[in-house]
């Protein structure tokens, strides 16, 4: 299933100027609110590869100005039986890329990256009840898509926790003056990702399915939101190691995702150097698994 559920203009997007510094083995972020922010297209054109040695030199001197500051969510699902699963989304034109729930920090919508992470999580990770044909949103939280039928539910809840970031291989560096997230700098796009952790705890998932919603820019600089029913992949976690195979949750059942042999992980799982810099835009799924000695 691929369905359009929302559309918004990319012109309202605000990309704030953010400069990163390396300070006492942490990254300090300087957010400049005085300069005019860029729109989505202006920001996107700046996302180009840069030599990691240039980034290191800038981090240690006058600071490295990011093309953009992105956010990611290390979401760990806990089943009604207490099993642990790492949540990834399938992305790219061939759906072979496995990525964390993530997005661009849009200052027109969210005052802080942390607020952006919570919004992205609610927008991308969608729980659907087949019998009522409604989306379920945790009590006290707002469903982001007004045109879709939804209801408040006790079947699942979202809990912020930095503990879930442990299995994200690239996100090991702390940000100065905060302890609820981690960061890495992506040399392939001149950007950085701030990673926040959450648990999604399910007390009951009978008849429930998990869908993914993703924004994609169209030719008119609009952001179109598509709903996908086989794009949230769950990997079992054993001692902080991801275990094959991946699954979908469909009508209360875990169904094998049958990922292709050449599937690969997004930069969040590549691993970073001691400056928090990631130098490759992908790592094969089989390499991550073999390096962890998984069965």
Per-domain boundaries in the chain: 2-9+69-291
pLDDT of residue 2: 58
Q: Taking residues 42-60, what's their average pLDDT?
A: 97
pLDDT of residue 283: 96
Reported confidence tier of residue 295, pLDDT bands at 50, 70, 90: very low
> CB neighbours (10 Å) of residue 94?
10
> CB neighbours (10 Å) of residue 27?
22
Candidate from 85-94, 119-128, 145-154, 210-219 with smallest mean pLDDT: 210-219
pLDDT of residue 291: 42
Candidate from 99-103, 183-187, 289-293 with smallest mean pLDDT: 289-293
Q: Taking residues 193-206, what's their average pLDDT?
A: 97
Nearest 5°: CA angle at 192, between 225 and 26?
A: 145
Candidate from 137-146, 191-200, 216-225 with smallest mean pLDDT: 216-225
State the Cα–Cα distance between residues 31 and 165, nearest whole angstrom. Answer: 24
Q: Which two tokens stand for residue 125?
A: 């990770």
Share of the chain above pLDDT 90, in %: 79
81, pLDDT greater than 50: yes
The closest of 198, 203, 164, 173 to 59, measured between CA atoms, is 173
35, pLDDT greater than 90: yes
DSSP letter, residue 37:
P
Nearest 5°: CA angle at 167, between 44 and 125?
A: 55
CB 190 within 8 A of CB 50: yes
pLDDT of residue 214: 87
pLDDT of residue 126: 97
Q: Taking residues 34-43, what's their average pLDDT?
A: 93
pLDDT of residue 217: 75
């Amino acid at each position: 299933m691929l369905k359009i559920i929302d559309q918004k203009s990319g012109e309202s997007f605000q990309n704030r100027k953010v400069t990163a510094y390396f300070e006492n083995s942490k990254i300090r972020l300087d957010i400049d609110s005085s300069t005019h922010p860029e729109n989505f297209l202006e920001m996107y054109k700046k996302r180009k590869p840069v030599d990691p040695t240039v980034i290191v030199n800038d981090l240690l001197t006058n600071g490295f100005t990011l093309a953009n500051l992105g956010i990611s969510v290390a979401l760990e699902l806990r089943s009604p039986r207490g099993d642990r699963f790492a949540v990834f989304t399938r992305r790219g034109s061939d759906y072979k890329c496995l990525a964390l729930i993530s997005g661009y920090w849009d200052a027109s919508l969210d005052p802080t990256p942390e607020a952006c992470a919570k919004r992205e999580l609610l927008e991308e990770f969608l729980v659907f009840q087949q019998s009522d044909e409604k989306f379920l949103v945790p009590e006290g939280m707002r469903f982001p898509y007004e045109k879709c039928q939804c209801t408040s539910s006790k079947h699942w809840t979202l809990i912020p926790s930095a503990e879930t970031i442990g299995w994200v291989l690239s996100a090991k560096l702390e940000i100065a003056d905060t302890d609820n997230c981690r960061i890495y700098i992506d040399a392939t796009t001149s950007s950085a990702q701030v990673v926040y952790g959450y648990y999604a705890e399910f007390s009951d998932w009978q008849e429930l399915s998990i869908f993914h919603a993703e924004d994609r820019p169209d030719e008119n600089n609009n952001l179109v939101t598509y709903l996908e029913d086989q794009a949230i992949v769950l990997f079992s976690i054993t001692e902080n190691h991801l275990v094959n195979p991946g699954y979908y949750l469909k009508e209360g059942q875990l169904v094998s995702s049958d990922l292709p042999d050449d599937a690969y992980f997004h930069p969040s799982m590549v691993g970073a150097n001691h400056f928090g810099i990631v130098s490759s835009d992908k790592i094969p799924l089989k390499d991550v698994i073999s390096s962890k000695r998984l069965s």
